[in-house]
């Protein structure tokens, strides 16, 4: 049992650190009106965070993607985003198209 205590501490501390904010978000979110300025701000911040992480993964990748050239990653991201918009914002298109471009590019190189 003594070998598992660090994992238990990490689990409990991680749960406490994140679960509190999740519940606070649920409570605050229930009070927001659908078209309110606050909800638009929350959506904008969430979108910005997702895009920041995506940009970091494209520009500074790790693992197998690190071996691919930057131009290939940028092309895949750009064409994938354009395909996503042209397909009526279908997420599956925005995922499959850049993956196909990356896969083909890595096989070709």
Q: In this predicted structure, what is the pLDDT of residue 2?
A: 66
Confidence of residue 78 (pLDDT cuts 50, 70, 90): very high
Q: What is the pLDDT of residues 94-104, one digit of tens each?
A: 999 999 999 99
Q: Rounded mean pLDDT of 26-37?
A: 81
**Mean pLDDT for the stretch of residues 52-73:** 93
For 61, other C-beta atoms within 10 Å of its C-beta total 14
- Is pLDDT at 31 greater than 60 in this prediction? yes
**For residue 32, pLDDT beyond 80:** no
Query: Tell me, what's the pLDDT at 20?
Result: 84
**What's the confidence (pLDDT) of residue 38?**
82
Query: How many helices and strands, by DSSP H and E, does the chain display?
Result: 4, 0
**pTM summary value:** 0.65
Give the span between the Cα atoms of 95 and 29, in whole angstroms: 29
- 15 or 55, higher pLDDT: 55
CA pair distance 11, 30, nearest whole angstrom: 28
């Amino acid at each position: 049992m003594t070998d598992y205590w660090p994992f238990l501490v990490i689990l409990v501390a991680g749960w406490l650190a994140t679960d509190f904010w999740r519940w606070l978000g649920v409570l605050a979110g229930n009070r927001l009106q659908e078209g309110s300025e606050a909800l638009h701000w929350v959506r904008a911040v969430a979108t910005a965070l997702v895009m920041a992480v995506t940009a970091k993964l494209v520009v500074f990748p790790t693992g197998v993607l690190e071996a691919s050239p930057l131009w290939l990653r940028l092309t895949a991201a750009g064409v994938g985003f354009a395909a996503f918009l042209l397909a009526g914002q279908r997420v599956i298109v925005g995922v499959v198209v850049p993956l196909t471009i990356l896969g083909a590019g890595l096989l070709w190189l």
